[in-house]
Amino acid sequence: MGWICGRDLQVPEAAKRLLAEVPEWFGLPEANADYIEAARTKETWTVRDDDGNVIGLTLVDRHFPHVAELHLMVVDRDRHGQGVGTAMVRAVEEDARERGVQLLEVKTLGSSHPDPGYARTRHFYEQAGFLPLEETNLWGEANPCLFMVKPV
Whether the Cβ atoms of residue 45 and residue 87 lie closer than 8 Å to each other: no
Which has the higher per-residue pLDDT, 1 or 113? 113
* DSSP reduced 3-state for 63: strand
User: Tell me, what CATH number does 60's domain have?
Assistant: 3.40.630.30
What is the pTM assigned to this prediction? Answer: 0.88
Domain count across the chain: 1
Neighbour tally for 18: CB within 10 Å:
25
Sign of CA dihedral 146, 147, 150, 152: positive
The pLDDT tens digits for 4-51 are 666 665 588 899 999 898 878 887 788 889 989 898 889 989 998 988
- State which residues form the domain around 141: 4-151
Q: Which class for 82: exposed (0-12), middle (13-18), buried (19 or more C-beta within 10 A)?
A: middle
* DSSP reduced 3-state for 113: coil
pLDDT, residue 8, reads 64
The pLDDT tens digits for 90-133 are 999 999 999 999 999 999 999 988 888 888 999 999 999 999 99
pLDDT, residue 7, reads 62
